[in-house]
Amino acid sequence: MSAQGDCEFLVKRARELVPGDLWAAKAWLITARSLYPADFNIQYEMYTIERNAERTASAGRLLYDMFVNFPDQPAVWREISVITSALRNDSQDKQTQFLRGLFETLPGRVQCEMLLKATEQCFNTLERAEMLLLLLRRFPETVVQHGVGLGETLLDAESIEDQESPVNCFRKLFVCDVLPLIINNPDVRLPASLLYKYLNKAAEFYINYVTRSTQTESQYQGSQDSSDIMSPSKRSSQKYVIDGLTEKSSQITDPWERLFKILSVVGMRCEWQMDKGRRSFGDILHRMKDLCRYISNFDSDAHAKYKNQVVYSTMLVFFKNAFQYVSNIQPSLFQGPNAPNQAPLVLLEDVTNIYGDTDIDRNKHIHKKRKLAEGREKTMQSSDDEDPSGKARSRHITVNKADLANSIEVLESFKLARESWELLYSLESLDKEFTRICLSWKTDTWLWLRIFLTDMIIYQGQYKKAISSLHHLAALQGSHSPQQITGQGSLESQRALIQLATCHFALGEYRQTCEKVLDLVCCISLPIQEGGKVQEEQPKVKSKFRKGSDLKLWPCTSRAIMPYCLHLLLACFKFFP
């Protein structure tokens, strides 16, 4: 009998003994290995017995021997592939845990070499990236050699695959998993230009992830408790699955916190003027305003450095607070059917103050009318023709506590976002860089951002620009998916009509105001009265006009909007020549 035949016989005999006498089977294989130490099948059979018996230590030693002595055997790489899959798997079943334990018994040097060679045998970009990421996490010293290369590979794959959204599997792995390993490793030397590129990619990803609209909600699996959904910061707890990733890998906790952490690390690496400790958004914005006062005094290199600091810091404060504002006044835009039962709010001129006193004392009608006209002139002082800069006088926004429980925080977010926007356009160099970023991100297609910008322009009193912005908003709504919820579309059209009406009224265009009001009334469904129950009246606004109190967040419901339309029509009749 040949040596090959002997080996096959011994392996076959051991295999037959396994069910009845495991120790006898092992004895046969130990004898066989002593006689034929270079035979792979004998060692593989020994490994199979230990693996099936889930003996972690002995199986690990045998796998190590096979990896060292038979590195080219396909069976060895099949085993390694199964083990590395278990390392990347989210499952907690018994077999997966055993395979992870088996891998841990291997020497660190062997683990590193095994992962690196396993990576080389992956031809799928995503699988290769996940394997290499496993290596970088377990062996941080490999980040210097492989970190940047992996990051660039993922960004290249995103371009080659022509991903429509920045929220894709390649960008997610780069931003959330690879980038923190790169920038937090002091041994990885990166030029400032590459750091800014990575910061830009991270900001675009996180902002799009957080502000994804109900159009992508079909990718959610399961439902969430409404108490968690009410807070925009907790949307990350919803089960959103990114194509190409598992459910667990798709979840991102505290995305805004992660983004500002990346901003802080990049700032330190680029030697920005950083403040120690945690700072509020107001503090960050105040610091950027101070930096802008003397930024022109720096030489070209320092000017470029601090320009980037102001742009990125202010920009992130802007997007964060603009999102906070919009997600609170119109939660259904982001949360769809999971949104809490809160009526959306719309920012309007408080015309009730203009009309309110006219019928209090009929004997003073003429005197009142004259005073109203004077007040009307004062109200219009922030029109487009008189304030081309867009920096409006300080205007007071009111909102009923019952309509918005966290009104103080929401109005503060509106203020911070507005001031951030003004700062970004205060200097030509800032304006140019911020505009470049917005164009590359296609922010003009972000519906939620257009809602904020429209409200900001109305606040600034630039009513002609607000009308143009509302037409842009209508175009964005028209480009939405046909599967969009009908009620949401109806809400957006009502919001646009009432804001168009209030803008035309502020410009003294009373005919157009009446037309928009009538269009709105035609598409509003009146609330049904229950039995003889009297409908609750809207809280009455004080008729005495208070300087600065000329804007209000109104519930965008028929119950609140119909009385407002009536006030608007009556005011038009009063001022119509």
What's the rounded mean pLDDT across residues 365-374?
Answer: 46
Report pLDDT for 420: 96
DSSP per residue over 89-105, as a string? -----HHHHHHHHHHHT
What's the rounded mean pLDDT across residues 357-375?
Answer: 44
Report pLDDT for 527: 55
Whether 240 has a pLDDT exceeding 80, the answer reads: no
Whether 220 has a pLDDT exceeding 60, the answer reads: no
What's the rounded mean pLDDT across residues 122-136?
Answer: 89
Whether 544 has a pLDDT exceeding 50, the answer reads: no
The model's pTM is 0.81
Q: b/e for 384-415, b at 16 or more Cβ within 10 A? A: beeeeebebeebebebbeebbeebeebbbbbb
178-182, 284-288, 538-542: range with lowest mean pLDDT: 538-542
Report pLDDT for 190: 93
What's the rounded mean pLDDT across residues 82-109?
Answer: 85
111 vs 222, higher pLDDT: 111
Secondary structure of residue 527 in the 3-state scheme: coil
pLDDT tens across 308-342, in order?
999 999 999 999 999 999 999 988 888 755 555 67
> Quick check: 389 and 255 in contact, CB under 8 A?
no
Strand order through the sheet with 345-349: 345-349, 549-555, 396-398
161-165, 175-179, 278-282, 542-546: range with lowest mean pLDDT: 542-546
Report pLDDT for 469: 92
pLDDT tens across 272-311, in order?
988 776 678 999 999 999 999 888 888 788 888 899 999 9
The confidence band for 225, taking pLDDT boundaries of 50, 70 and 90, is: very low
Report pLDDT for 226: 35
Report pLDDT for 479: 61
What's the rounded mean pLDDT across residues 351-378?
Answer: 48
Report pLDDT for 393: 59
DSSP per residue over 231-256, as a string? SGGGGGGS-B--TTS-HHHH--SSHH
| Long-range contacts (CB closer than 8 Å, 24 or more residues apart) made by 542-549 | 542/353, 542/356, 543/352, 543/353, 543/356, 543/357, 543/360, 544/353, 544/356, 544/357, 545/353, 545/354, 545/356, 545/375, 546/353, 546/396, 548/393, 548/394, 548/395, 548/396, 549/350, 549/353, 549/396, 549/398
> Quick check: 501 and 517 in contact, CB under 8 A?
yes
H or E stretch at 396? strand 396-398
CA dihedral 150, 151, 156, 161 (to 10 degrees): 90
H or E stretch at 345? strand 345-349
**Distance between CA atoms of residues 401 and 557, nearest Å:** 16
6-15, 59-68, 382-391: range with lowest mean pLDDT: 382-391
Mean pLDDT estimate for the chain: 79
Report pLDDT for 120: 84
